[in-house]
Amino acid sequence: MAGLKLTYDIPSADDDFTRAGEASGSVKKKLRQIGYNPDAIRKVSIAMYEGEINVAIHAGGGEAEVEISSDAVTIKLIDHGPGIADVDKAMQEGWSTAPEAVRSLGFGAGMGLPNMKKYTDSMEIETEVGKGTTITMVVKA
């Protein structure tokens, strides 16, 4: 399978939170169309949705680049938000800085980053406070 590259804008939760999940939904659909391994599709869907929500809630939006090959799906989430001050803490289950407004929608369980790690084969976080965060996740086929 030749590599396929998809890019998406992720809107800020402040502007349009109803669109959060569209990018991951679209990737899921695409993977189904090309007959990708169902286990890998589920992992990609969960990890990318969590990432998308994080970018929407914490970073005022950003973008997603997804590369699909026969071996793996690589998801890169790029934002120019506040950065993650303490990555170790952010990786702990249950630790959250989500604002009250999104908590009332059922977010803020502090499971976003842990879920992303759990459902991917590798995850790299590059972050700088005040500049933004880029997360690269790979799910093997």
Q: Which residues in this chain contact another protein in the complex, by CB under 8 A? A: 17-18, 20-21, 24-25, 28, 42, 45-46, 49-50, 53, 105-112, 114-115, 118-119
Taking the least distance from each CB to another protein, the nearer of 80 and 95 is 95
Taking the least distance from each CB to another protein, the nearer of 24 and 133 is 24
- We find the least distance from the C-beta atom of residue 23 to another protein, in angstroms, to be 11
- Cα–Cα dist 42/30, whole Å: 13
- For residues 54, 58, 61, 62, the Cα torsion angle rounded to the nearest 10 degrees is -70
Distances (CA, A) of 20 to 11, 44, 56: 7, 15, 7
Taking the least distance from each CB to another protein, the nearer of 45 and 74 is 45
